[in-house]
Amino acid sequence: MTVQQTSRPQLIVFLGTAHDNGGTSILASNLAAAMRKHGHRVEEWYLFSSDGDLPVGARVFYHTKRSPFALFTVFWRVVKALRQERVDVLLGLQPLSNLFVGLAGSIARVRNRVSAYHGPFWSANQTLMNLDALVASLGFYTQMVACSNSVADSFRARSKAYDPVEVIVNGHNAPRLYPRAEARAELGLPAGGFVLGQIGRLSHQKNQGFSLELMRDLPDAQLVLLGIGPDESAVRAQIADAGIADRVRIIPALAHDRIGMFYSAIDLVLFPSRYEGLSLAAIEAIHAGVPLLCTDIPSFRELFAASPYLTEQLLLPPGDPTAWRARIRSLLTDKALRTRVNLELTRLSPAYGFGAMADQYMRLIDRSEASEHAPLPQAVRSGV
C-alpha cells in the first residue's frame, strides 16, 4: 500500500453516531490506522454507545438511552471536546454525526469539516437528510465525500449544494483466508456440502428474509447469516416458520481480523440488498475470490462496471427467487462457470484495494491543510 505523506502531522477525528461493527465503522478504523502510520494523531469518537466492539481508545459521549435531551447534551459535549483538543480535521461517518461535524465543528472553530456519505440520500432518515442539505447549503461543510458515484449522484439530484461532493470509491484489505475444513469447523458447519453466506446487519436494507425464502427450495444447501440487528427476532421467526432451523446458522459477530473464516467456509455470498453505498463486504468477497450474487441496483452495477461478464452473471432482479435459485445452482455445480467468474473476480480485485482509497483520503487531508485559513460560515462568524 502506498499512502501519500502529508506536509505536517494533524489531529484528525472520525466522528460516528455509534460503532456498530458495520462498514463505516470498519472503514474509519482502517483509515485511522493508515493515517497514524504517517505521523498523524487520529482518534475515533462516537456520539452514543452501541453493541459494537469499540476500537481501543475510542471516545463515547453518551452511554444511556437516547432522547432529545441527550442530543442537546451530546452536542455541547462534542463542542467542548473539539475546543479542548484543537482538532484540525473532523470527518463524519453517518447522517447524524455529519450534522455534528458541520454544526458543532463550526461552533468549535474546527477549520476542516468533512461530511461523508455512505448510502443514497433517500435511504436515511429524511428529516436528518433535509437538515443535512440545509447545513451543506449554508457552507458548514468544508468538504463532502461520497463512497461511490451512485451515492454522489443521489445527493446532487437533491440539491445544488451537493455539486462539490467528491467521490472516493470504497476500498478494502483482502481478508486472510483459511483452509476450508478449518474454517467450517471453527464456525460449526458441516465439512461437506454447499454453504451459502450472507453478511451484514439483520435489517430491512440487507433483506435477509429473501435469502431465507431461497432456502426453501435449496434442500442441499446450508446458510450462514453473519450479523446482528433490529430484524433479528423477525429473521428467527421466519427460520422457525419455514422449518429450516437445521440448515440456517446465525453468527452474531466475528472479530474483523478473523473475517476470512467466513469467506473461507462458504461457497457463495448472497447480497439481496434493497440499497447500498458501495458494500465493503462485497469488496471483501471479491478479494477473497468467492462468487457473490447481488441485487441489480445502481451501487452493485457500479461495483462490477469494469467487468461486463460479472455484471451479466452476478446481478439478478430483486424479488425473483426463481432466477436467484437457478443462478445459485449454476454457480455451485458448473465448474467452467465458476472458474470464469473466479478469474474475473481476480482481475477486478485490485481496483478496490485499500491503498488506493487511503491515498485519496490522504490527499483530502493535504487539501484541508492548504485551506486551513478558509473562512467559517457567516452564522459562526456572527457568533450565532
Q: DSSP readout, 88-130?
A: SEEEE-SHHHHHHHHHHHHHTT-SEEEEEE-S-GGGS-HHHHH
Question: Tens digits of per-residue pLDDT, 315-355?
Answer: 999 999 999 999 999 999 999 999 999 999 999 999 999 99
Q: Is the dihedral of CA 115, 121, 123, 125 positive or negative?
A: positive
CATH fold group of domain 180-352: Rossmann fold (3.40.50)
Share of residues in the chain with pLDDT > 90 (%): 82
As annotated, the residues of the chain forming the CATH 3.40.50.2000 domain(s) are 11-171+354-379, 180-352
Distance in angstroms (rounded) separating the CA atoms of residues 325 and 217: 8
Does the reported pTM lie above 0.85?
A: yes
Task: Give the pLDDT of residue 382.
Answer: 47
Distance CA 317, CA 85 (A): 49
Cβ-proximal residues to 350 (8 Å cutoff; 6+ apart), any chain: none
pLDDT value at position 368? 62
pLDDT at 384: 42
Position 106 scores a pLDDT of 97
pLDDT digits (tens, 9 = 90+) for 129-142: 999 999 999 999 99
**Terminal CA-CA length for the chain:** 44
What the block records as the C-alpha cell of 231 is 430484524
In order along its 384 residues, the chain shows pLDDT tens digits of 444 444 578 999 999 998 876 788 889 999 999 999 889 999 999 999 876 677 788 999 998 777 778 899 999 999 999 999 999 999 999 999 999 999 999 999 999 999 999 999 999 999 999 999 999 999 999 999 999 999 999 999 999 999 999 999 999 999 999 999 999 999 999 999 999 999 999 999 999 999 999 999 999 999 999 999 999 999 999 999 999 999 999 999 898 889 999 999 999 999 999 999 999 999 999 999 999 999 999 999 999 999 999 999 999 999 999 999 999 999 999 999 999 999 999 999 999 999 999 999 999 888 766 555 445 565 554 454
List the grid coordinates of 102: 458541520
Report the CATH number of the 11-171+354-379 domain: 3.40.50.2000
